[in-house]
Amino acid sequence: MSEEITLGPLRINLIRKGVKNVHLTVHPPDGRVTLVAPQSTRTEVARAYAISKLAWIRQQQETLKAQARETPRQFLERESHELWGRRHLMIVVEADVKPFVKLNHKRITLSVRPGHDMAKRAEVMHAWHMSLLHALVQELIAKWEPKLGVHVSGYFLQRMKTKWGSCNHRAGNIRLNTELVKKPKDLVEYVVLHEMLHLLEPKHSDRFVALIDQYWPQWRESRAELNALPLGHQSWSE
C-alpha cells in the first residue's frame, strides 16, 4: 500500500510493508524520495519523520544534482573511456581487417575499417564491453552460488535506465546493467551479490538487510560509491 506525502514542493512516496524499521531513500538520478515504513505506521507519524529529515533529504538531492555526468562518447582518437573504474585513452586505428578492441595498460586501441562511422565504432566497443562483463559476471556467480546456497538459472546483460540490476526470483535469473563495465570490479560484485541475495529474499525486507550485512558488510559504502561515480549520459541509477 502506498500514498504520497507532500511537504511544499517535495513529494514523498510512502510505502507500507512488512518491515520493522523506517527506511528513507533519495533515489538517483532525479532525487525522488521514498519512505518505507511498517504496515501499522500512521500517515501523520510518517509525515513527522519526513519533516525531521528534510535537511538530509535536501542535502542528498543537491549532491545528486551536482553529480558529474559523462558526456556521450564519439569514439575518436585521444578520447577518454571508463573501464572498471579507470580512465583510458582511446587510440583509433583504421585497417582493412575485422574490427577489434585491444587493451594495453591505460590505452584502448579500437581498430575499425576505413570509413566506419560512429555508430559502427560504438557497436564494436559495445560487443567488447559485453565480452568483458560476461567473463566477470560468470566468475562472480560461480564464486557466490556455493556460498549462498543458490543457483542462478540464467543472467542477462542489458541497457537499463533506472537500475543497476534486477532479479526474477521465480525464474531464478538476474539482469545487470551493461554500464557496470565502467565501474570498479568490487562494485560490480556488490551488484551481482545484491541480486543473487534476492533469490533468498525477494523483497528489501529486514531479512534481506540482515543477509547483505552478513555477506557484504560494507554494502552501504559500496552503494554510496556506486552512486557517486559519473552517470552515463542517459541518467542511470541503481
Residues 101 and 164 in one domain: yes
Last residue of a domain, one of 66, 91, 114: 66
The reply to whether 102 and 52 lie within a common domain is: no
What's the pLDDT tens digit per position in 20-32?
888 899 887 678 8
139 in any annotated domain: yes
Same domain as 101, residue 13: no
Question: Are both 24 and 117 inside the same structural domain?
Answer: no
Within-domain flag for 74: no
Report CA Rg, the chain.
Answer: 21
Residue 117 or residue 153, greater confidence: 153
Instruction: Output the pLDDT for position 224.
Output: 80
Phi-psi region for residue 70, left (φ > 0), alpha (ψ -120 to 50) or beta? beta
Identify whether 27 is part of a domain.
Answer: yes
Same domain, 110 and 208: yes
Q: Domain check: are 62 and 84 in the same one? A: no
Residue 48 CA to its chain's centroid (Å)? 31
> 121-158, pLDDT tens digit by residue?
999 999 999 999 999 999 999 999 999 999 999 999 99
The CATH number for 92's domain is 3.30.2010.10
Q: Which domain holds residue 19?
A: 2-66
Domain match, 127 and 222 both: yes
Select from 161, 162, 193, 156 the least CA-distant residue to 176.
156
Same domain? For 150 and 218 the reply is yes
Per the structure, the count of domains in the chain is 2
Measured CA angle at 183 (ends 162, 117), to 5 deg: 80
Task: Please tell me whether residues 86 and 59 are part of one structural domain.
Answer: no
